Structure 1
Amino acid sequence: MAGAAREVQVHISVLRQQLDLYECDALVRSYAVSTALHGVGESNGSGCTPRGLHRVRAKVGAGCDAATVFVGRRPTGEMYSPGLAAQHPGRDWILCRILWLTGCEPGFNCGGAVDTLRRFIYIHGCPDGTPLGVPASHGCVRMANADVMDLFERVVVGTPVRIEA
């Protein structure tokens, strides 16, 4: 059908530390990611990456520079640099773009103490040189800035995101 929206889906493999983007059931891109250092889990405060079916709830950062620093989904006015990083050792850097996820499975990743949205689980950019392909995040899914900028342009609010162990 001419003009119909593409059917886009995101699949994240925690085991492979990879995000796969599908359009009309065809794999079109794969990206290295970093999921939670503490593994998978849905509980609030666990520091784990939640599994199951999610959707993109909000897209944050359109038009922002790749070095834009976010806190609470808002640009701080800072631009990431090695000097800024040295001033804030141990800070969990959220850069560039944010895809905020919401769970779709009540009692598993939606509602109560397992609510992905209330846990502020994102797919987001991170500083260059941050290890990807290994679990290291605080629960979110980290991507290289260029990759998350590409993904951001390819998905819409409501895009399904499946996270599998």
Structure 2
Amino acid sequence: MVDPASPPIGPDEVWIRVSIARQDLCLQQGSELRKKYLVSTARAGPGELNGSGCTPRGWHQVRAKIGGHEPLGAVFVGRRPTGEIYDEALAVRYPQRDWILTRILWLSGLEPGRNRLGERDTMRRYIYIHGCPDSAELGQPGSHGCIRMRNEDVADLFERVPVGTRVVISE
């Protein structure tokens, strides 16, 4: 369900709806569902505070798209490709790494006081929609705040949405 207080969605507008309860991401065009993906949101649940490890709720936009020419499984650190491709040997070598793979859709909050500015700023928290290892469980909370997707799925979504695409994250 779209928040009635939000700006209206045009009939041709492409936008993203993330459900924390269902652990899914829906690509919409107006009121029509175009594609549904399984995701994993924060293990710590929903929340907006800096340092919380929670997935922020409310209206956002895709602020930046990163990694469009990288191969599936490309590893990112600090939003930059490392030149590595994820595999089990790399996972063993770096067991504490929070793996950000394939593509990044960096989110920015659109609601001052809720998910933008001050102690509740989605962009400054580096909240992304991104790829994860194939071994990561989706369909249940498990991330550090971001929205994790299968590598093939995030690459597909990346190609379908432009910078500026609105994203609503709800419980």
With the length of structure 1 as denominator, give the TM-score of the two structures: 0.95
Shift of 1:24: 3.1
Correspondence for 1:144 = 150
SS across alignment from 2:36: strand
Correspondence for 2:34 = 28
Shift of 1:103: 0.1
Structure 1 unaligned residues grouped into runs of 5+: 1-5
- Count of aligned pairs between the two proteins: 160
Correspondence for 2:9 = none
SS across alignment from 1:85: helix
* Residue identity (%): 60
User: Deviations for 1:70-116, whole angstroms, at most 9, x for unmatched residues?
Assistant: 01110011111100100011211000000000000000000001000
Correspondence for 2:50 = 44
Question: Is the counterpart of residue 98 in structure 1 residue 108 in structure 2?
Answer: no
Question: Is the counterpart of residue 84 in structure 1 residue 70 in structure 2?
Answer: no
SS across alignment from 1:34: coil
Correspondence for 2:123 = 117
Amino acid in the other structure paired with 1:126 = C
- Distance in 2, matches of 1:79 and 1:147, equals 17
User: Deviations for 1:44-77, whole angstroms, at most 9, x for unmatched residues?
Assistant: 0000000000000000000100111001110011
Amino acid in the other structure paired with 1:130 = A
SS across alignment from 2:39: strand
- Distance in 1, matches of 2:154 and 2:17, equals 14
User: Deviations for 1:126-158, whole angstroms, at most 9, x for unmatched residues?
Assistant: 011210000000000000000000000000000
With the length of structure 2 as denominator, give the TM-score of the two structures: 0.92
Structure 2 unaligned residues grouped into runs of 5+: 1-11
